[in-house]
Structure 1
Amino acid sequence: MAVSLSSGVRSALSSLQSTAAQAAASQLKLATGKKVNSAVDNPVNYFTAASLNDRSSQLTGLLDGISNGIQTIQAASKGIDGITKLVNSLQSTLKQAQTDAAQNRPTKAGTALATASEAALTSKSLKDIALDKRIVDDNGATANTATATYAGNVGGATLAAGDEAVTSISLTSGSTTYTASFLSTNSTVRDVVNEINKSGVATAFVDEKGQLNVKGNGSDKVQFGIGTTTFTPAAAGAPTSAEITTAGTASTTLATGATSDNTDFGFALTDNSAAGTSITSSGITSAVRSNLIDQYNDIRDKIDDLAKDSSFNGINLLKGDRLSIQFNEKTGKNQTKLDIQGSDVTSDNLGIVKAGNTQLTGQVNFQNDSDLDSATKALTGALTSLKSLSSTFGANLSVAQTRQDFTKDLADTLSTGAANLVNVDANAEAANLLALQTRQQLSQTALSLSNQSEQAVLRLF
């Protein structure tokens, strides 16, 4: 049997059901935190938010790869910093070696330019007699002999009456050659010593035995030549500069050729050409320099070891590995990424060769000054290469870090945009739910009143 409801009860019941449905919807929104929980709620917002969240998730997933790439670059950068310090240590070792004077400098003492009989006649030391002797033979009667009244000469050339003389000196050590010519009509051995000492290639002195000594400033062998030629000026008085230059050319030929006058100064070097005889190393090695060789080679080996250990997650940019960092979620032509090609950093590739005590190809001879100079230049070049590589890695690191920050911000922006489309305003929805609950209570009261009005008929009985 069907139950018939009055219009008042039916209206109150309908309002109560509607309020309960709305309250249930508000409770769902508050429980999920979203105002759009399915495509039914709002298809446009639902699918747009899903797309934004999907891209945000993909970008967030790329952050791990970017972070690993940054750490890989930083590992290589730290490796370069360590290698730079090791190269600086090598420079310090070389400086220590250079501070200790080389013991193998080419040195030669000529035969004595003064004799005991001359010392007896002049009452001077053999050294002073040799230094005071003139270069040219200006006294044929007593050539090369010093007396109480005559300084003597070494007979570099025979000077006739009215003639002038020009003397040239030639010194070659390694790739450095020094030549000089000077008017020597009245010059002495002392002038020759002074001229050699100006060269920067070698030094000269006369010892107590009256011997002229020539010692190379470096460790390379020295070709030494001296020649004197005479000429007759066209006019009486001082010769012209052109005449001196012409005579100087001739004396330079004597200084560098097979007819060098070395023997006049006590040197048995009859040929000063590159292929001829020369002043060579004494063969004595410096103990200090020798002891520094192992230190130098050990630090050099540590450069290779440090480069091998500068890897991160299996990628080592200091051993020639390639690093690729992906920046967006696309593929193919639309993909953006950073490719970094590493370099194989080794002591050999940096131009840092091993050290030794001998002159060998591909080895720095610690006993040789010019080798030490070359090694110092090589280390300077190595530091330049390391700075360039460090600068490249630094620029790549800056790009990667910038893209990392950008990707984080973009992912946050996408997530925020998606949230704005589907997330509920909790405060507004809570207020709405409270209003619905109040309405629900009122509806329940209205339903109760409607029932009471129908029950009033029972009072008639």
Structure 2
Amino acid sequence: MASTILSSGVRNNLLTLQQTTAQQNVIQNRLATGKKVNSAIDNPVNYFTALSLNDRSSQLTGLLDGISNGIQTIQTASKGIDGITKLVGSLQSTVKQAQADAAQNRPTKAGTALATATEAAVTSKSLKDIALDKKIGGADATADAATATSPGDVGIDTTTNVKGAIFLKSGSTTYTASFDVANATMRDVVNEINKSGVATAFIDEKGQLNVKGTGSEEVQFGFGVGTDDTTSQAAAAGAGNANAKIGFATADNVAGTGIKGQSITSAVRSNLIQQYNDLRTQIDQLAKDSSFNGINLLQGDRLSIQFNEKTGKNQTKLDIQGSTLSADNLGISQAINTQLNGFINFQNDADLDKATAALTGALTSLKSLASTLGSNLSVAQTRQDFTKELANVLTTGAGNLVLADPNEEGASLLALNTRQQLSQTALSLANQADQGVLRLFG
């Protein structure tokens, strides 16, 4: 088939029209896809750069789920610590209730009477007042009875003994105090004992000195005299060389034979033992339940949160080693009703004091662990926000390289449409010029 020969004017106008149509197709494709670079042919540098940026953004977005799970795992452990802290607080309340019920087995002892009915008849005073007013020392080592004009004394020779001292010991607590015996009375001895915090003292209606421990531990009590503070205190702490002068035995100052409590059990404290042990058990159970997605930071599990898409030494992550949290590890011992190593005897004040100290230590440990988890949580949340923002920046950067501007492309398409119409008009005019030769044959 023979080709059609076009005039120069028609061919030029046709070529222009074809170029305009091609440009329209390109712009229409940009508007349809929203991109000005749809393949490497359009712009290889921008295309592959945008592809790399989008790939990294996608990888970082994929890591957000792992970061979110890590955050939830830390928060679960933190909530577990909050719950355990409340349980420890309840244990403290239980111990305080036990301490509020003063044990009935306080070690108590009454000495022999320091006053007689004869003295009461002579002085017209009660046996209690006579005993309180009696002086510690006199001119010899013989006890002098009270008279209408003299308070009497318990028989400490003040010519050889200048100082008197008391010694008290309960558990690990020791108290020693000395005083001048020349003018001191039994009232002064009672007052010194009451200052100790280890025991209390009073003289009863029979004229007997009573010493009672402030706790349930055995109390060693000694009364000594000497030429100075040192010798009197040594006597009180050693043999208690003047115990008999105030109605006590020398053995009362010896460990194992001192003033002991009776074996009477407090019912209130016994009833609190089960409550205490139940709360203690709940600590272990709550710690075991503080897991998320199979990871429990309160049972020694390890959590690893990955923050970037790299591997090997270029990978950034947060490793959190959990702790095995239990009542035993917190130093909270089980409670029982008797004295046994490794347990808390709820009938013993000293054991209750130790339990209070242990619970305070447990709270300190929990606060430290909570602080560590809080710090790790802050890091994870910061990296989560950073990863979200970085992924957005990468996506935006990729878009800037390949996305089309709808306003610009629309304006270009409108201009091309106008150009197309003009090209079509020019082509028509060129054809009309070629048709002019037909008039020669008219």
Q: Which of 160, 166, 170 in structure 2 is aligned with 1:169?
A: 166
Q: State TM-score, norm by structure 1.
A: 0.89
SS in 2 for 1:270: helix
Per mean C-alpha deviation after superposition, the further-off stretch among 296-305 and 257-266 is: 257-266
SS in 1 for 2:169: strand
Which residue identity does 1:201 align to in structure 2? Answer: V
1:354 corresponds in structure 2 to 334
2:415 corresponds in structure 1 to 435
2:249 corresponds in structure 1 to 268
SS in 1 for 2:112: strand
Alpha-carbon distance in 2 for matches of 1:117, 1:366 = 47
2:211 corresponds in structure 1 to 214
Provide closer, same or farther for how the CA distance between residues 259 and 394 of structure 1 changes in structure 2, counting only shifts above 3 A. Answer: closer
Alpha-carbon distance in 2 for matches of 1:422, 1:143 = 115
1:119 corresponds in structure 2 to 120
1:227 corresponds in structure 2 to 224
Q: Which blocks of at least 5 consecutive residues in structure 1 are unaligned? A: 230-243
Which residue identity does 1:253 align to in structure 2? Answer: A
1:151 corresponds in structure 2 to 151
**Aligned-pair distance for 1:283?**
2.3
Where do 1:77-156 residues align within 5 Å? 77-136=78-137, 138=139, 143=143, 145-155=145-155
SS in 2 for 1:449: helix
SS in 2 for 1:353: coil
2:198 corresponds in structure 1 to 201
2:57 corresponds in structure 1 to 56
**Aligned-pair distance for 1:265?**
2.1
1:34 corresponds in structure 2 to 35
Kept in 2: contact 1:256–1:273 (CA 8 A): no
Which residue identity does 1:377 align to in structure 2? Answer: A
Which residue identity does 1:364 align to in structure 2? Answer: I
Kept in 2: contact 1:169–1:179 (CA 8 A): yes
SS in 2 for 1:359: coil
Q: How many residues are matched?
A: 440
Q: State TM-score, norm by structure 2.
A: 0.92
Which residue identity does 1:256 align to in structure 2? Answer: A
1:70 corresponds in structure 2 to 71
Provide closer, same or farther for how the CA distance between residues 226 and 116 of structure 1 changes in structure 2, counting only shifts above 3 A. Answer: same
1:240 corresponds in structure 2 to none
SS in 1 for 2:253: coil
Q: Which of 358, 363, 368 in structure 2 is aligned with 1:383?
A: 363
Is residue 341 of structure 1 aligned with residue 321 of structure 2?
Answer: yes
**Aligned-pair distance for 1:370?**
2.3
**Aligned-pair distance for 1:171?**
0.3
Kept in 2: contact 1:19–1:436 (CA 8 A): yes
Per mean C-alpha deviation after superposition, the further-off stretch among 115-124 and 64-73 is: 115-124
Alpha-carbon distance in 2 for matches of 1:270, 1:86 = 45
Is residue 423 of structure 1 aligned with residue 403 of structure 2?
Answer: yes
SS in 2 for 1:41: coil
Deviation per CA, 1:112-166, whole angstroms, max 9, x where unpaired? 22333433343322212222333336467x74544445434333x345xx54542
Where do 1:233-244 residues align within 5 Å? 244=227
Alpha-carbon distance in 2 for matches of 1:216, 1:81 = 39
**Aligned-pair distance for 1:222?**
0.4
Kept in 2: contact 1:261–1:270 (CA 8 A): no
Alpha-carbon distance in 2 for matches of 1:443, 1:259 = 130
SS in 1 for 2:154: coil
Alpha-carbon distance in 1 for matches of 2:333, 2:112 = 41
Q: Which of 372, 379, 401 in structure 2 is aligned with 1:399?
A: 379
Which residue identity does 1:184 align to in structure 2? Answer: V
**Aligned-pair distance for 1:321?**
1.1
1:238 corresponds in structure 2 to none
Kept in 2: contact 1:49–1:418 (CA 8 A): yes
Alpha-carbon distance in 1 for matches of 2:339, 2:241 = 29
Which residue identity does 2:400 align to in structure 1? Answer: N
Kept in 1: contact 2:199–2:213 (CA 8 A): yes
Kept in 2: contact 1:257–1:271 (CA 8 A): no
2:299 corresponds in structure 1 to 319
Kept in 2: contact 1:269–1:277 (CA 8 A): no
1:234 corresponds in structure 2 to none
Deviation per CA, 1:214-238, whole angstroms, max 9, x where unpaired? 0011221100111234xxxxxxxxx
Provide closer, same or farther for how the CA distance between residues 389 and 259 of structure 1 changes in structure 2, counting only shifts above 3 A. Answer: closer
Per mean C-alpha deviation after superposition, the further-off stretch among 346-355 and 126-135 is: 126-135
Per mean C-alpha deviation after superposition, the further-off stretch among 431-440 and 5-14 is: 5-14
Deviation per CA, 1:267-308, whole angstroms, max 9, x where unpaired? 23435233x511112222333333322222222222222211
Deviation per CA, 1:350-387, whole angstroms, max 9, x where unpaired? 11222233222222222322222222222222121111
Alpha-carbon distance in 1 for matches of 2:337, 2:120 = 44
**Aligned-pair distance for 1:256?**
2.6
Percent identity, aligned pairs only?
73
**Aligned-pair distance for 1:457?**
4.8
**Aligned-pair distance for 1:205?**
0.5
Kept in 2: contact 1:102–1:286 (CA 8 A): yes
**Aligned-pair distance for 1:259?**
5.7
Which residue identity does 1:85 align to in structure 2? Answer: K
Kept in 1: contact 2:222–2:239 (CA 8 A): no
Kept in 2: contact 1:66–1:400 (CA 8 A): yes
